[in-house]
Amino acid sequence: MQTSEQLTELRRILAEVTDLNNATALLHWDQETYMPPKGAQGRGEQLSTLASIAHRTFTDGKVGSLLANLGAAELSPEDGKLVEVVQYDYDRATKLPEAFVNTFTKETSEALEIWAEARQESDFSIFQPKLERLLELLKEKAALCGYEESPYDALLEEFEPGMTAGQLRPIFSDLATRQSALVERIVASKNQPDTAWTRAEWDEEAQWKFTLNVLRDLGYDFDSGRQDKSLHPFTTDFGMNDVRVTTRVDPHDLFSALTGSIHEGGHAMYEQGQNPADRRTPLAEGTSLGMHESQSRMWENVIGRSQPFWNHYAPILRDRFSGRLQNVTADQMYAAINRVEPSLIRVEADECTYNLHIIIRFEMEVDLMEGRLAVQDIPEAWNAKVKSYLGLDVPDDANGCLQDIHWSHGAIGYFPTYALGNLYAAQLFETIEEAITDIWKNVEAGDFAPLLVWLRENVHRHGRRKSALEILSDATGKDASSEPFMRYLEKKYGALYGL
Ligand code: ZN
């Protein structure tokens, strides 16, 4: 076969696998939104059938030999990159023996139920034996995948390619010190915002319509997507022209549906902005979870929790809730949506405390993988870290080490991507403020197009053609750093809390 024929054949197989994965995602979306309860069993079977066909098609020996031939051939830079990324995926997909994958799937699905029970009972000892088993398997997985310094790196690689524990450690320890100190000053400040009014009863339909209004303004394309309701907000896509978001409306929280929508809208606009030339290949998707999270958090926090944003939306929100917000100023909305309060629960954390929750998990995960921490000592270690970083006493395991679902999925190495999202967003945004000098005037006028155009050009359209660190250094001229994020926090919250 000629090189060009081999490329065509590879692209045909990739298109097939992409279609199968997109069909799987659509079934999954339906499961989380509209599927009736009795559909669950059949849906599980359909999902597992499609996933195994996709896996078999992709890991076929034919793909391996096409890649080997193409890897040795003269290719254009565009095709060369495609082959490089597919080879990377192929190596990862074929490194784990089928027997291992089956054991891992079985153990994690059991772990999920046991974790749920342990959390219900608020008793870590129920989960402990299962987590010990998962940790054994994760160490085995790390050995199978290979790593240079830490077994943790092999797991992190799945979520944030190219990042290592060694790179994260100094960044996170610097953040921990500085963010804890900032939070201490905020808690001691006399300028505490009033948020009681946000928890009155707010009409659900009016909230829902407001989220649609804001999403459309930001640039989310409703001809290539839609918003629905689900228990936990999420984004999913079946190709760049059908990228869907969900949110959850709480009648006793004026801001939760809105911030959920903006967050997911940020993820979705990243996927809608992929390069059409890469459609139906693994190149047309977000490059890492950290970069994905940078997009959702930039829109949600940097933009959606900014003063200019609220100067623009305060009158619109007043219109939506005719008469009820007459006495609430844009400043008061801005202050309320940025309230800082150390809490035990990660998903309720604000911008100033969020990374501290992540750092607690990161440090423990590395210690677990490197053998410095035993599973049975998790609750004690957890509680000590929460006391030291957040100044809080953990009353029980449900509000402590059992709160997150991630470990029961065997997803160790996932948490750091949330904090990286905050760091990448702040670093990109410093460059954006230099590139678009009127950015805040634009936001105040409800014009978000210049920002979206910049993100399309510098982040979105590259898909997986650039790694997160390449996107960052090409766009900002610097390596990943915690400095821009700390500058952002200190400026914003220093003013809000009169520090
Ligand atoms: Zn997210």
Domain-by-domain residue ranges, the chain? 3-146, 165-497
- Rounded CA separation 165/150 (Å): 7
What's the confidence (pLDDT) of residue 4? 96
Closest CA relative to residue 464, chosen from 299, 275, 296: 275
CA angle 27, 30, 35 (to 5 degrees): 115
CA of 245 from ligand 1 middle (Å) equals: 11
Report which DSSP code applies to 280. T
What's the confidence (pLDDT) of residue 109? 86
**499 residues of the chain, pLDDT tens digit each:** 899 999 999 999 999 999 999 999 999 999 999 999 899 889 989 998 999 999 999 999 999 999 999 999 999 999 999 999 999 999 999 999 889 988 998 899 899 999 999 999 999 999 999 999 999 999 999 999 999 999 999 999 999 999 999 999 999 999 999 999 999 999 999 999 999 999 999 999 999 999 999 999 999 999 999 999 998 999 999 999 999 999 999 999 999 999 999 999 999 999 999 999 999 999 999 999 999 999 999 999 999 999 999 999 999 999 999 889 999 999 999 999 999 999 999 999 999 999 999 999 999 999 999 999 999 999 999 999 999 999 999 999 999 999 999 999 999 999 999 999 999 999 999 999 999 999 999 999 999 999 999 999 999 999 999 999 999 999 999 999 999 999 999 999 999 999 9
CA of 48 from ligand 1 middle (Å) equals: 25
What's the confidence (pLDDT) of residue 323? 82
41 CB neighbour count, 10 Å cutoff: 8
β-strand 243-247 against 235-237: which pairing, if any? antiparallel
Contact in structure between 254 and 198 (CB atoms under 8 Å): yes
Closest CA relative to residue 369, chosen from 137, 99, 26, 128: 137
SS3 162: coil
In the sheet with 243-247, reading across from the earlier edge strand, the strands are 227-229, 243-247, 235-237
CA of 21 from ligand 1 middle (Å) equals: 20
Among 157, 160, 264, 365, the active-site one is 264
Contact in structure between 202 and 252 (CB atoms under 8 Å): yes
What's the confidence (pLDDT) of residue 143? 97
CA of 74 from ligand 1 middle (Å) equals: 39
Beta bridge partners of 247: 229
Closest CA relative to residue 281, chosen from 95, 468, 93, 83: 83
What's the pTM? 0.96
What's the confidence (pLDDT) of residue 355? 98
- Rounded CA separation 7/74 (Å): 12
Is CATH 1.10.1370.30 correct for 165-497? yes
CA of 25 from ligand 1 middle (Å) equals: 17
Contact in structure between 279 and 320 (CB atoms under 8 Å): no
363 included as an active-site residue: no
What's the confidence (pLDDT) of residue 322? 86
